[in-house]
Amino acid sequence: MGFTTQALVALAMYCSSARPFFIAGALVSNMTTTFTTPYVQGVLASLDGTGRATALSGAAANFGAAVGPALGAMLVAQTVAPIGVTSAITLFISLGLALSSLRSLPASSRTRSAAMGEDNG
């Protein structure tokens, strides 16, 4: 639900030209990121006993924070696509990949992560 909210807010933010709507969207986007990132890291930690996936998720988040603005600036300068539509599509693709990877997990891991979602949600 958090990632879907992020994608919809990103799409709405960049399709609107009103400044207050953009500011409200940025606040909602930051709030959802604050809650979804620790949840995803907790699920990763429960699924991977070595801790490598959790460490990699932190590195990926930092890499995205460093590369994302540069990529966004490049897209705006090249006018390849509207940046809001591109970010929403990217978020939906990542959500689809994450959900499709659940099928490759052992049944015990899926049960554990589902129970964790019920405790936190």
- Residues 64-119 have pLDDT tens digits of 888 878 877 777 777 666 766 777 788 788 778 777 776 666 665 555 555 555 55
The tokens describing 72, both together, are: 């966004």
Structural domain of 84: 2-120
pLDDT in tens, 17-76: 788 888 888 888 888 888 888 887 887 788 777 878 788 888 888 888 888 788 777 777
Question: How high is the pLDDT of residue 19?
Answer: 83
Triad 111, 115, 62: Cα angle to 5°: 95
Triad 43, 12, 92: Cα angle to 5°: 35
Instruction: Provide the domain count of the chain.
Output: 1
| Whole-number CA gyration radius for the chain | 16
pTM over 0.75: no
Question: In this structure, are residues 41 and 54 in contact, taking their beta carbons and an 8 Å threshold?
Answer: yes
